[in-house]
Amino acid sequence: MGRMRATLVSLVGRGVASATRLRGGHGSALPGLVVERLDPHFLRDLLGRLPLGCAVISGTNGKTTTTRLVTQLLEAAGLSVFTNPSGSNFTRGVVSAALPQLRRGRLDADIAVLELDEAHAVHFVHQIAPRYALLLNVLRDQLDRFGEIDNTARLLGQVAAGASGAVVLNADDPRIARFATGVRPGVDVSWFGIGEGLRGQFPTDEGLYAPDRQTGASPDAPERITLSALDGAEATYRIGDREYPARLSLYGPHNALNGAAALALTRAILGPRFDPAAQVEALSHVTAAFGRGEVFRLGGRDLRLTLVKNPSGFRLALAGADPSAPTLIAVNDEIADGRDVSWLWDVDFAPLAGCPSVATTGVRGYDMALRCEYDGIPVASTEPDPLVALDRFLAAAPTGPVQVFSTYTAMLVLRARLKQLADGGAR
Amino acid sequence: MRIEIVQLYPAEMNIYGDHGNAQVLRARAELYGIEVVTRSYEVGCDASMLEGADLLLGGGGQDAGQAGVADDLGRVAACLRERAEAGVPMLMVCGMYQLFGRWFKTVEGAELGGIGVFDATTTGGTSRLIGNAVVDTDWGRLVGYENHSGLTSLGAGQAGFGRVVQGAGNNGRDGVEGARAGNVIGTYLHGPLLPKNPRLADALLRVAVARGSSGRSNVQLTSLDDDAPVLAPRDDAAAGVLARWDDLAARAGAAAAARPR
């Protein structure tokens, strides 16, 4: 009976998805909404039937890339993985993503790996107790949306407390590390983090003004996977008592750390089947997610597009910036970007001092220009329309690599245009 | 000419980029030929640091950080009140504005004592007042961003910092934003406030310089036409940079004021 109902509901949902697409929509949330109305337990039942259940990934920074990493690592280990596409961070988005993949009302997968927005994570875990949870960090992001960091931490703490099998925590983020004491009885806690020598490459929000307050399992603890060395794309991961080197296809120290997080969650899921050497090898081949350091080839040169959404993410992105490339920075203030742009003042723009030119754009392009100039970085031009600015930027720097840093909604606009312009599409 | 700027509790009270206020003051002062020393006063520091300050800044923090700060602030309250009486210019934003009032009662019912520079009281609310804000003040129309759950009420004789043109201000009811006592300003506006509002930044610097050059006597921070010395750029290049910053600030302010809450 349940099977028949699930099949019927999923058929209705798929019908709505087709109708939405015919009307020119993206078919994203509406089918999920219809299905949830028809059957509020649809998703719980669907994910509950998966052999390995559901793994959720949340935190301020790195959700999208880490979800992509875990998905590909598990696939490399032979699992069939259901995941939600970037941007659909909500239960309805997950339902909508699941609909086209259903066979007779069942999801044809071993496990679901889901990126969860902090604001929706609690609602989700109350509906569906995940077997695994990976919590990456709590940083200043969109305080106009969530209020305060401590509030965001409380939301994530409920995710940790809701997991039934294993929880993976950031050992270097005190707001995350303290969740270790709040997990259900019998739940395994494991860790990821950075090695002592890398502290300078990973400034924390607190570390900007206060002495480091690091907590969690020590870098050598067996239950922790540590990013122990990093030089450009050359990363080394300490797993157990061995070091595993990798040349990453991903860009920036933050993504190297996301790699450690993904390895730790994959180990928690696979248990004894986890093969460190094979997994680190698989990790080295994963490329950037949507707009997260993505490279576009334009007229025989490279443009790197990097999403920035909060101070620590922007600082890390600048730490990995090309100091000799012309630079465009796009800042919007829509809800998805965060209405409040004051966080730009918590970023040090000195790493751009050597760039031959810096231009700014976006609704808050003048805020960005003002910020740069107070750091002694002259801004060549400010054009609020990102597409006009991009054309001028590319025309002003016709050869050689260039880089673009952008908040979320401006990134969507720029990326769509860059895909049109790219020689062979994004790589 | 040399002035000392002291930031109060930057480790705990800096959540909305408020240290940008110090950066703007430092950068502008340099172009006016004023040497600036910036110090951080943290919980447990010696009160003598406050006695040497020509200008004091404070920012907003998490509710959790505010309690520890409130205890320490009580320890140096007399010194800060004396400095305020003496005319030292101060800009206290959000959480520190609240603690410069008489008391702050959190939504859980805990009461934090303030130092009473302002006749103001704050009660924690259950919703946040968030968004771009525009306020008319003695230093013109200022643009900032507010994000607070505390509702502040001023005593009958307590002057506000400005009148709300757009936004909520102290409590979303009476149209008043912030508080002012002599040269001390309290406000919910961050953004941070000074980058987009250079007239206010220069007014604070003028008074700090005037007090410094007159043996730190009492100079009131009055209005745009006050009698404090006019700051002069140290050379043509500095004048050009300041003009460029102020042009960008005006454009950024206009963009912010036109945005939705």
List domains and CATH numbers for chain A. 2-285 (3.40.1190.10), 292-421 (3.90.190.20)
Q: Chain B interface residues facing chain A, Cβ-Cβ under 8 Å?
A: 10-11, 14-20, 23-24, 27, 40, 62-64, 128, 130-132, 145, 147, 149, 190-192, 195-196, 241, 244-245, 248-249, 251-252, 255-256, 259-261
Residues of A within 8 A of B23 (CB-CB) are 345, 374
State mean pLDDT over A80-106: 74
> In this complex, which of A144, A149, A363 lies closest to B62 when CB atoms are compared?
A149
Q: Report helix, strand or coil for A387.
A: helix
Domain containing B225: what range? 2-257
Q: Give the side-chain half-sphere CA count within 13 A for B34.
A: 27
Q: What is the DSSP letter of A370?
A: H
Residues of B labelled as active-site residues: 94, 190
The predicted pLDDT at position A407 comes to: 96
What digits encode the pLDDT tens for the residues A175-228?
Answer: 899 999 999 999 999 999 999 888 877 765 554 433 344 567 777 788 999 999
Task: Check CB contact under 8 Å for A363 and B63.
Answer: no
Exposed/middle/buried for residue A350 (C-beta within 10 Å: 0-12, 13-18, 19+): exposed
Q: How far apart are CA A422 and CA A426, in angstroms?
A: 7
Pairwise CA distance, residues A368 & A360, whole Å: 6
Residue among A374, A379, A382, A383 with most chain B CBs within 10 A, to mutate: A374
pLDDT for B179 beyond 70: yes
Instruction: Specify the CATH number for the domain of residue B115.
Output: 3.40.50.880
Q: Which residues pair with B63 in a beta bridge?
A: none
**What pLDDT is attached to residue A15?**
64
What mean pLDDT is predicted for residues A142-163?
A: 80
Chain A residues lying within 8 Å of B261, measured CB to CB:
339
Is beta strand A132-135 parallel, antiparallel or unpaired with respect to A166-170? parallel
How many CB atoms lie under 10 A from the CB of residue A252?
A: 26
The predicted pLDDT at position A146 comes to 56
Torsion angle of the four alpha carbons A60, A64, A66, A69, in this order, in degrees rounded to the nearest 10:
180
Of A104, A101, A105, A85, whose CA–CA distance to A93 is shortest?
A: A85
Is the pLDDT higher at A347 or at A43?
A347
Per-residue confidence (pLDDT) for residue A86, from 0 to 100:
57
Mean pLDDT computed over every residue of chain A = 85
CA distances from B232 to A357, B199, B217, B239 (A): 30, 14, 22, 8
Question: For residues B97, B102, B104 and B110, what is the CA-based torsion angle, rounded to 10 degrees?
Answer: 150
Classify the phi-psi angles of A233: left when phi > 0, otherwise alpha if psi is within -120 to 50, otherwise beta. Answer: alpha
Nearest Cα of chain A lies from the Cα of B63 at a distance, in angstroms, of 9
The pairing of strands B90-93 and B35-41 is: unpaired
Domain count, chain B: 1
Please give the residue of chain A at the shortest CA–CA distance from B10.
Answer: A209
Residues 6+ apart with CB under 8 A from A412: A291
pTM equals: 0.77
DSSP conformation class of A426: B
Size of interface A-B (CB pairs under 8 A): 99
Give the count of alpha carbons within 13 A of B8, CB side only: 31
Per residue in B123-155, pLDDT (tens digit) is: 999 888 999 999 999 999 999 999 999 999 999
Q: Do A374 and B27 touch (CB under 8 A)?
A: yes
Please give the ipTM for the structure prediction: 0.94
Helix (H) or strand (E) holding A65: helix A63-76
DSSP B86: T
Q: Which of B15, B36, B39 to probe the A interface (max A CBs under 10 A)? A: B15
Minimum distance, in Å, between the CA of residue A346 and any CA atom of chain B = 5
Nearest-CA distance A149 → chain B (Å)? 8
How far is C-alpha A219 from the chain's CA centre?
23
Residues of A in Cβ contact (< 8 Å) with B64:
150
